[in-house]
Structure 1
Amino acid sequence: MPIQTRFTDLPPLGPSNTVRLHTHEFSGAGCRRSAYIQAGLHADEHPGLLVIQHLQEMLVELHQQGRILGRIVLCPFANPVGMTQNVLGFWTGRFNLANGENFNRNFPDLVPLLEAQSSAPETAAKTPAQRLKHALAALTPSDTVSAVRQSLLGEALQHDLVLDLHCDTAGVLHLYANQAQRNQALKLAECMDIKVVFLEASAGGQPFDESCNRPWDWLIEKGLCSAEERPFAASIELRGQADVNDQLAREDALGILDFLASEGLLRLDAPVRARCVPQVYPLEGASHLPSPGHGLLVWKKRPGESISKGELIAELVPVDAAIGTPRVPIFSDVDGVVVVQPLFKLVRAGQRVGLLAGVEPLPNRRSGQLLNHF
């Protein structure tokens, strides 16, 4: 089949302010399975945008060679609203400037809609895909962002594999996935050389990947499908915001192709490359360290380095204090690894100054309340 490009028109942001999404579809005839990959849901996170461009070029070549077996859909930018939010030269695409809401929170929860339709006699013979489609159709978006979320979720729910490309401020490759899909998460991590894997049962906050997973949890719990039918959804953090270059993007794209090949969606000459041995961390063990005050953050550790509980990992320099005022020490509260640091080192009291991956759950972390809203 030829490569298809589709456009989805969305409600305008205002008079004469049109918004639309577009996707590229690559299809083969050797496999019924499919994958959906998007980037830029947080529109100030740009490494994934370049990865998608490399994937497009690689998939065009594979398509010409007849090596694509399944169906692969790419969304080059998943947040056209956020991509309009450039303020004084800075992209502010993580939060909706209209209301301050994180673009990757509050995606539709289809479970109440599935429950509402389950009592209707005509739904008894419906397949899981038909139930999901019916529930999605019952949504009534109230604004442009809601329509974007409905469109993205509607596309994702048609596929067996869903990859959402993000990045953090400054950090190492890591990914988030559901603990019920540990094996696929580890396979993806091996293919992409991702050493840090966060697994959880319920993150909370309805981010995109959880919005894909929750209705399948319900279908499995009600005995309407098997656990093996559940699609795999993961959020991949492609290092930090400054890590936008062709070498990294090409390596990440090749890793994604390796994963798709391992899942039977395409054929490559080389076998899947197991590049590393990933370490799994519970999301309940992720520590978002707050700043103890205002000042300049000086790290003693780099992203990817191991740390021990109680170890000095950073210091805060109080730039407005009297001469001779000592620095404020910041200690690790976990045994694990440094995953993320802020890109800008001048910080405010209470601001997150680091993400640490700990091997043990922390007492203040609760399932269903694991995602912060920064």
Structure 2
Amino acid sequence: MDISEIIIPGDTPGIEWRLPVFRFKGNDPAAPKVYIQAALHADELPGTALLHFLCRMLRDAETADKIAGDITIVPQANPIGAAQSHFGALQGRFDLGSRINFNRDFPLISLRDRDNLTDDLDRYPAIDRLKRQLMHMALGADLVLDLHCDDESLQYAYIDEAYWPDASDLAAALAMDAVLLSDGESTAFEEAISFAWKYEVPGEKRTRLPGKLSVTLELRGIRDVYPDMAKADAEGLWRFLTAREIIKAEGVLPGKFAGPAVPLDNVEMIRSPASGTVLFHRSIGEVVAEGDLLATILTRPGLADGSMQIRAPQAGLVLTRVSDRLVRRRATLMKIACSQPSSVARKAGTLED
């Protein structure tokens, strides 16, 4: 395993950021190359734990000369966000300087312009230097996995329709509870990678990308950081890499994904119509019917008319739930994956900022 650091100068005197990068050299130049990062949202750590255990397995495989394709690992992709603590609470999702989500505003470029990403980096602020160098590394690979998590959540993935159903082996290997088929219309990391591949010839969009994969994996909830979970997830990712013949192993075959795979338009974003205290009646993993009571909001506690009920707009699987119990008006309470499109029109791109 080769270990290096990318040093990112800070935007104020005396500050610099160090980004550790682990590289495992493959023995087959024709094998797919892999890039995996975790904690781009710096407080989302299930992926960091997964990669800790995966690296142990990869070191053993490297010693046994069983790694076919080059594998690059970035266990903590956002040292800038990891240093943002506000009144004792880590703020890892948004850059406090620019107020931009760390997983948005990645450059939308053609693959042929990859090397331009790291030209003249001195003219960019630290957060953009970080994004450009992460993207530059990822575009040197064929398979790109961005490891995230939700709040309270099942395990699910965002996969561009350009890769489906070819990517069902990944969903099966990691025992995903659901797949959300994205439209590739945002500046999030995995969609910016896909954009570069789709527009390898500028102005000519490819709708299928055989041999390529760029996905976001949501590894349950933000507090689901446990050794047994991380080891099981690492073993799942190992199965995927061996089934794709990136790691040499006998008798590992692609699995079959049995969960729902639905377009983003089929996700019901359950939002609070008012501020108040949330009393949840349903939890993640439950299948609800149209009209089922999901939550009660105590808008004026103690008064006879001081609460309101929120019901399911259609049947579906409860994928996520907010951990906050005092919510603002229009806060997202749940995501429900459904078989039919939501009646609420969705703009192209991500479900949330």
After TM superposition, the score normalised by the length of structure 1 is: 0.87
Distance 1:48 1:322, change over 3 A: same
Equivalent pair of 1:193/1:275 in contact (CA under 8 Å):
no
Q: CA deviation at 1:19?
A: 0.9
Q: Distance in 1 between matches of 2:120 and 2:348?
A: 23
2:284 pairs with 1:285: no
User: What residue number does 1:56 align with?
Assistant: 55
Comparing 289-298 and 51-60, the one that deviates more = 289-298
Equivalent pair of 2:198/2:209 in contact (CA under 8 Å):
no
For 2:12, the aligned partner's letter is G
For 1:52, the aligned partner's letter is L
For 1:337, the aligned partner's letter is L
User: What residue number does 1:179 align with?
Assistant: 161
Describe the SS at the equivalent of 1:146: helix
User: What residue number does 2:4 align with?
Assistant: 6
Distance 1:43 1:224, change over 3 A: closer
Percent of aligned pairs with the same amino acid: 27
Comparing 90-99 and 286-295, the one that deviates more = 286-295
Distance 1:371 1:11, change over 3 A: farther
Q: Distance in 1 between matches of 2:201 and 2:53?
A: 36
Q: CA deviation at 1:220?
A: 6.3
Deviations 1:31-85 (CA, angstroms, capped at 9, x unpaired): 4311000000001111111111111111111111222111111001111100101
For 1:22, the aligned partner's letter is P
Equivalent pair of 2:115/2:136 in contact (CA under 8 Å):
no
User: What residue number does 1:104 align with?
Assistant: 103
Q: Distance in 1 between matches of 2:79 and 2:343?
A: 39
Deviations 1:179-235 (CA, angstroms, capped at 9, x unpaired): 01012331111000002100122342x000010011222236856989445620000
Q: CA deviation at 1:336?
A: 1.5
Describe the SS at the equivalent of 1:197: strand
How do 1:35-54 residues align onto structure 2 when only pairs under 5 Å count? 35-54=34-53
How do 1:11-26 residues align onto structure 2 when only pairs under 5 Å count? 11-26=9-24
Equivalent pair of 1:174/1:194 in contact (CA under 8 Å):
yes
User: What residue number does 1:303 align with?
Assistant: 284
Among candidates 198, 214, 227, match of residue 233 of structure 1:
214
Distance 1:272 1:296, change over 3 A: farther
Q: Distance in 1 between matches of 2:340 and 2:290?
A: 11
2:125 pairs with 1:143: yes
Comparing 286-295 and 241-250, the one that deviates more = 286-295
Describe the SS at the equivalent of 1:67: coil
Q: Distance in 2 between matches of 1:360 and 1:225?
A: 27
For 2:132, the aligned partner's letter is Q
Distance 1:235 1:225, change over 3 A: closer
After TM superposition, the score normalised by the length of structure 2 is: 0.92
User: What residue number does 1:345 align with?
Assistant: 325
For 2:180, the aligned partner's letter is F
Q: Which structure is higher in helix share?
A: 1
Describe the SS at the equivalent of 2:166: helix
For 1:215, the aligned partner's letter is A
Q: CA deviation at 1:20?
A: 2.2
How do 1:194-213 residues align onto structure 2 when only pairs under 5 Å count? 194-204=176-186, 206-213=187-194
Among candidates 170, 173, 182, match of residue 188 of structure 1:
170
Pairs aligned (count):
351
Q: Distance in 1 between matches of 2:207 and 2:308?
A: 53
Q: CA deviation at 1:244?
A: 0.4
Q: Distance in 2 between matches of 1:79 and 1:254?
A: 24
Describe the SS at the equivalent of 1:315: strand
User: What residue number does 1:86 align with?
Assistant: 85
For 1:188, the aligned partner's letter is L
Q: Unaligned 5+ residue runs, structure 2?
A: none
Q: Distance in 2 between matches of 1:226 and 1:203?
A: 13
Q: Distance in 1 between matches of 2:248 and 2:107?
A: 35
Equivalent pair of 2:32/2:142 in contact (CA under 8 Å):
yes
User: What residue number does 1:159 align with?
Assistant: 141
2:316 pairs with 1:317: no
Equivalent pair of 1:178/1:201 in contact (CA under 8 Å):
yes
Describe the SS at the equivalent of 1:360: coil
Q: Distance in 2 between matches of 1:220 and 1:334?
A: 42
Distance 1:308 1:372, change over 3 A: same
Q: Distance in 2 between matches of 1:134 and 1:73?
A: 18
Q: Distance in 2 between matches of 1:134 and 1:148?
A: 15
Q: CA deviation at 1:281?
A: 0.9
For 2:183, the aligned partner's letter is A
Describe the SS at the equivalent of 2:58: helix
Among candidates 26, 29, 36, match of residue 27 of structure 2:
29
Q: CA deviation at 1:22?
A: 1.7
